[in-house]
Amino acid sequence: MASGYPERPKDPAWTTQLPTAENFVLQSPPKQSLKARFADGDPTLAPIPSTLTLKSPQPSHSPFILAFSSEVLATQFTVIERDALEEIDWKELVELRWSKGPTPVLNWADYMRIPDQTGVDIVIARFNLVVKWAVSEILLTTDIYDRARTITKLIHIASHARHLRNYATAYQLTIALLSTAVSRLRKTWELVQPSEKETLASLEQLVQPMRNFATLRQEMEASLLAPAIIYVSLKPGACIPFIGIYTHDLAYIAQKPAFVDAAGNPVAAPIAGGVSAGAGAMVNFERFQAAAAAVKNMLRLLEASAKYTIRPNRELVARCLWLAALEDADLEGRSRALE
């Protein structure tokens, strides 16, 4: 997608062709494989030092995303999301084995050191970090023109992610751009071209929660029937789902009673030995059928995420993986200090 915003003069270091290894794939679950590579000192996957962890960010901060093609960045984020989804076990979904409260994640290298995280926990943590990272990249950029370019770049990446049917990255970047800390930067947004704002408006419509995310659900379901995209190695039906709506479905269904009476009212579960604690207690088959349908639907989408054969770029995928972000208080403070 062509940008309506003037590009920064190209630095020779930015235009260097990055090496791509055909045999380098992050096929194994990211928690184990990346942690093992990090522990073994693999320089291509080692965490990249970031000024995002500093309390007083340097004014010369320039987001690395400005140095790369939006489409290429979208493919690398897709690789990471694909491999994170591979970590999810269907038993986690059935048993609701994931953290019910949000785990504060400000640095992916730090998060990788936390033991015993479920696959769902990993995907949720990644989601939250990418949102905060995108907001941080915008707010750390003190030059207003570069800040507008950063916003435009993130819009482009989100749009390309949607085209790749990577709804996780598209959702993450869209809600980051719509966050209060970013949307209030009126002077910065005045420098963003109307065509880019229209693209963002289209993405905003996609992530709207109305009617239980009906628009997003429909587009993800439709993607399962979508044709291949040869030039980016997408097989027919490839999709990276936003799993948040499905984990919410499962948590909601689990709140329904397991046993009901003839009128459908909740009753206590039968006591061990087959003696009912309540007269006429019956299994609430509706609850279990709904849960089974939700799990089955989510598994279809998880299987679709395996249909990506994109080859990671060693240097760039590492940059996209080892993200860091500012704390909420820092984000709020920087937003108000900028404008």
Q: Is the pLDDT higher at 291 or at 265?
A: 291
In a domain, 97, yes or no: yes
pLDDT of residue 208: 94
Is residue 116 predicted with pLDDT exceeding 90? Answer: no
pTM for the complete prediction?
0.81
In whole angstroms, give the CA distance from residue 156 to residue 197.
11
- Residue 132 CA from chain centroid, whole number: 11
Per-range mean pLDDT, top range of 55-64, 91-100, 255-264, 307-316: 307-316
pLDDT of residue 192: 98
User: What value does the mean pLDDT take over residues 143-156?
Assistant: 97
Show the domain range for 133: 23-239+308-338
pLDDT of residue 267: 73
What CATH number is given to the structural domain containing 107?
1.10.840.10
111 forms beta bridges with none
pLDDT of residue 331: 96
pLDDT of residue 239: 96
In a domain, 200, yes or no: yes
* pLDDT, tens digit, 9 for 90 and up, residues 207-265: 999 999 999 999 999 999 999 887 777 889 999 999 999 998 888 888 887 777 666 67
How high does pLDDT run on average in the chain?
A: 82
In whole angstroms, give the CA distance from residue 326 to residue 256.
38
Question: Position 96: which residue type?
Answer: L
* pLDDT, tens digit, 9 for 90 and up, residues 20-69: 333 333 333 444 444 444 444 444 455 555 545 444 445 578 999 999 99
Question: Position 332: which residue type?
Answer: E
* Closest of 241, 240, 224, 256 to residue 308, by C-alpha: 240
In a domain, 3, yes or no: no
In a domain, 249, yes or no: no
pLDDT of residue 272: 55
In a domain, 91, yes or no: yes
Is residue 279 predicted with pLDDT exceeding 90? Answer: no
pLDDT of residue 19: 34
Is residue 8 predicted with pLDDT exceeding 50? Answer: no
Q: Is the pLDDT higher at 268 or at 242?
A: 242
Handedness of CA 55, 56, 58, 61 (dihedral sign): positive
pLDDT of residue 328: 94
pLDDT of residue 233: 77
In a domain, 217, yes or no: yes
Count how many domains the chain has.
1
User: What value does the mean pLDDT take over residues 62-87?
Assistant: 96
DSSP 8-state symbol, 305? G
CA atoms in the 13 A half-sphere facing the CB of 284:
20
